[in-house]
Amino acid sequence: MNALDVIILNWNTRDLLRDCLHSLGRLQAYTTVVDNASTDESAAMVEREFPAARLVRSAENLGYARANNAAMRATSAPVVVLLNSDTLVTPDAIEGIAQRFAQDAQLGALSPLLRTPDGAAQPYAFGGEPTPSYLLRRGLMRLLFRRYLHDWRPRTTIEADWVSGACLGLRRTALDAVGLLDEHMFMYFEDTDLCMRLRRAGFRVRYDPSLEIMHIGGQSLKQNPAARRAYRDSLMHLYRKHYGRAALAALKIMLPVYTKF
């Protein structure tokens, strides 16, 4: 059995997907690409140019959770790495993720350092649980001081409440214990919810700056109304699931201001 499976979810990002697959090098043979009903010939490109990779074609856009869950159910390696199509990696960095799991039996989820194309550490690559007080502190820090609540370039590995799904290493037995991604979320906060469940079950969640990849990133929420709606809906679902009615009421008051920052 191979030590890890790599799963890449794609929706109309053919050229980015090509670059991502090239960057995986020898790990293409352990990679599954799930194409979410793209219309830009992404699937045909994978079949033609990357025959070592496994291609799964979906007849509809399943969203992040449903598509990744389907791929995770169809694979079996002890470590799975969920990878965005707009990332550039090295085989050593991805294999390094699997090595971290081999070194710590309680590690449930791990992300490498995410860098932007200009070389900076990516904001919001990890964070604390999005409680009302946390969101308020994060929003006020941006509003009043134009600063982030966290240092996005930690010097050593940190224990985080959640790490980004852009490159997310997961232990298979931990997933067996807590379940897969929450399919009520079409996009956004699936990674947060999963990490919260892992931590509550006694697993560690870590952000490891000794491993690095590049995350090119997508369109800003401010320019994408559909993404803003998905962000809001997923956050509200997270609150209903984990925090109860009072916190949800507080979120509804804060949300119009919070999402501006």
Q: Which distant-in-sequence residues (6+ apart) come within 8 Å of 174 by Cβ? A: 108, 109, 198, 201, 203
Flag whether pLDDT at 179 surpasses 80: yes
Sign of the alpha-carbon dihedral angle for 166, 151, 107, 178: negative
Domain span holding position 214: 4-258
Note the pLDDT tens digit of each residue in 86-132.
Answer: 999 999 999 999 999 999 999 999 999 999 999 999 999 999 999 98
| Residue labelled with tokens 């590049």 | 214
The token pair at 77 is: 């390696």
Average pLDDT taken over every residue of the chain: 92
Question: So what's the pLDDT on residue 220?
Answer: 45
Percent of the chain with pLDDT over 90: 79
Name the nearest CA neighbour of 57 among 34, 77, 28: 34
115: amino acid identity, one letter: R
Q: How confident is the model at residue 138 (pLDDT cuts 50, 70, 90)?
A: confident
Around Cβ 196, how many Cβ atoms within 10 Å?
20
Q: How confident is the model at residue 255 (pLDDT cuts 50, 70, 90)?
A: confident
Flag whether pLDDT at 223 surpasses 50: no
Over residues 189-201, the mean pLDDT reads 97
Q: Using an 8 Å Cβ cutoff, are 35 and 85 in contact?
A: no
Identify the CATH number of the domain in which residue 191 sits: 3.90.550.10
Percent of the chain with pLDDT over 70: 95
Note the pLDDT tens digit of each residue in 25-84.
Answer: 999 999 999 999 999 999 999 999 999 999 999 999 999 999 999 999 999 999 999 999
Question: So what's the pLDDT on residue 56?
Answer: 97
Overall number of domains in the chain:
1
Burial (0-12, 13-18, 19+ Cβ within 10 Å), 106:
exposed
Flag whether pLDDT at 258 surpasses 70: no
Question: So what's the pLDDT on residue 95?
Answer: 97
